[in-house]
Amino acid sequence: MSLDLLLGLQWGDEGKGKIVDAITSNYDIIARFQGGPNAGHTIEFDGNKHVLHTIPSGIFNKDSINLIGNGVVIDPGIFLKEIEGLNKYKIDLRKNLFISKRAHIILPTHKIIDATSEASKGKKKIGSTLKGIGPAYMDKTGRNGIRVGDIIDDSWQLKYNSLKEKHLNIISNFNQSVEISLDELEKDFFNGIECLKSFNLIDSETYLNNSIEQGKKILAEGAQGSLLDIDFGTYPYVTSSNTTAAGACSGLGVAPNKIKNIIGIFKAYTTRVGSGPFPTELFDSTGERIRKVGHEYGATTGRDRRCGWLDLVALKYSVQINGVTELNIMKSDVLSSIGKLKVCTSYLIGDKEINYFPFDIKSKEVIPQYIEFDGWDQNITQVKSEFDLPKELKDYISFIESFVKVPIQLISVGPDRIQTIYRDK
Ligand code: GDP
Ligand code: IMO
Ligand code: MG
């Protein structure tokens, strides 16, 4: 009787998609619980590379059910494109993919509000992916939203028209001109709605709880990362959902006492895309090297990801907030031949050294305190056993484990599904 949870512990893009895909055969159901197409989850296997935005990353395992949970916001146009993109894999999506009736729908005008709102912020912009996420969640909590279950009855279009009018008023008040064609967005949107209707739209909370009772194994897949959480992230430079463990309960309708393992994923360094504080950010050739070697460019927007050293103050915070029971370290292969490595173990703010993640981080005022580690030159991308990893990497891993007091169970050494080292429990 259990549900495991898999979450990103940094600012997103930790490699969640890769791991969900790699471990999906251990589960009967993979369920996404929050976020929307702001996510880009990359999966590589057998020479294929595929990026998923709304559909859970278990979709390539034909034996498991994938569920888009009630906490997710769905853009029907993007959803349709994702479905079309999966055609070549010959997966029976009408059988393997379920969608919660309670999930909210992103309207074309949500995307325009996102763009005009960002444009009006100037230098203070969030760096949103402009997928309409913030405005869609605002309508959800404002009790104006349209849900997937609504589209079964055609009368939803009346609600659509009145919400669209309201949005157009909001947009005109921003006094910003953005180059987005509402007509084109609406065309994609209505095609997408027809596509959505052809899927199995379900009362997902009942389905999941019944499945738990029947002894099925469920993996809840998070999107974004803990430091982008609406409550615990670097507000206001965050996304608009609870990306942390509690979000899985509200985003799927499962109680906390059903959760067993909480798997936290982090990169061996740190990245961030979009604006906001990032104490360990590197502005030098080392940061550039990490970006190039790690291909740190946004999977959804193609933007350069900002790169820096591993921040253990932030990691420990994420481990605490989520109650992480096991860790997965990603992309240590990217650090091969980089020379000495640094990890941040505390922040100096003014004359005060602190070892926790504070309410407000102003990057310029925070001086990360680092510990240095010897690096390694070995190419580790083909290593299959932890015993064959360089001693320096093993030391690095041991230090992280002792600092955050949670074991690292999986070491990822490349983007492919098979470039994964599982450690004995
Ligand atoms: P997600 O949003 O957490 O699923 O992560 P993204 O897919 O946005 O970004 C992770 C990127 O790193 C993708 O391009 C993956 O293919 C790649 N990746 C995942 N794990 C590894 C790894 O261990 N080593 C390397 N070099 N690349 C990895
Ligand atoms: P995955 O699931 C990295 C960032 C955006 C921006 C902020 C708000 O692939 O890890 P939003 O579009 O939500 O209004 O953007 O959050 N962001 C992500 N960064 N990975 C993601 O998802 C992200 N989703 C949103 O760059 O700074
Ligand atoms: Mg991503």
pLDDT in tens, 198-234: 999 999 999 999 999 999 999 999 999 999 999 999 9
| Per-residue pLDDT reduced to its tens digit, 340-374 | 999 999 999 999 999 999 998 987 899 999 999 99
Residue 1, pLDDT score = 60
| Residue 36 near residue 75, CB atoms below 8 Å | yes
Distance CA(253)–CA(116), nearest Å, equals 34
The reply to whether 53 belongs to the active site is no
The residue annotated as part of the active site, out of 4, 21, 28, 41, is 41
The protein residue whose alpha carbon is closest to atom 11 in ligand 1 is 15
**Which residue's CA is the closest to the ligand 1 atom numbered 26?**
414
CA of 297 to the centre of ligand 2 (A): 12
Residues 6+ apart with CB under 8 A from 321: 226, 229, 232, 244, 245
375 C-beta neighbours (distance < 10 Å), count? 16
* In the predicted structure, residue 187 carries a pLDDT above the cut 80: yes
Ligand positioned closest to the Cα atom of 297: 1
Cα dist. 254→36, 248, 385 in Å?
20, 7, 36
Ligand nearest to the CA of 267: 1
Query: pTM of the entire structure?
Result: 0.97
Which of 259, 226, 255 has the alpha carbon at shortest distance from 243?
226
Give yes or no: 167 in active site: no
Dist CA 81 CA 53 (whole Å): 10
Q: Average pLDDT over the chain, rounded to whole?
A: 96
Judge whether residue 425 has pLDDT over 80.
no
Mean pLDDT computed over 173-194: 93
Tell me if 21 CB under 6 Å of ligand 2.
no
Name the residue at shortest CA distance from atom 3 of ligand 2: 12
227 lines ligand 2 (CB under 6 A): no
Q: Tens digits of per-residue pLDDT, 385-394?
A: 999 999 999 9
**Which tens digits make up the pLDDT trace of 266-291?**
999 999 999 999 999 999 999 999 99
pLDDT value, residue 378: 97
Is the pLDDT at 2 greater than 90, yes or no?
Answer: no
Residues with CB under 5 A from ligand 3 (ion): 13, 40, 299
Residues with CB under 6 A from ligand 1: 8, 12-18, 39-42, 44, 294-295, 299, 330-331, 333-334, 412-415
Atom of ligand 2 nearest to the CA of 129: 12
Could you tell me the sign of the dihedral formed by the alpha carbons of 199, 242, 50, 43, in that order? negative
Nearest CA to ligand 1 atom 25: 414
Task: Using the predicted structure, report yes or no on whether residue 252 has a pLDDT greater than 90.
Answer: yes
pLDDT value for 133: 98
- List, as own/partner pairs, every contact residues 154-161 make where C-beta atoms lie below 8 angstroms and the sequence separation is at least 24, other chains included: 160/107
In DSSP terms, 281 is beta-bridged to: 308
- Could you tell me the two tokens for 60? 């390539």
Q: How far apart are CA 239 and CA 305, in angstroms?
A: 16
- Give the pLDDT of residue 103: 98
Can you tell me the mean pLDDT for 320-325? 98
How many whole angstroms separate alpha carbon 105 and alpha carbon 110? 10
Residues paired with 72 in a beta bridge: 35
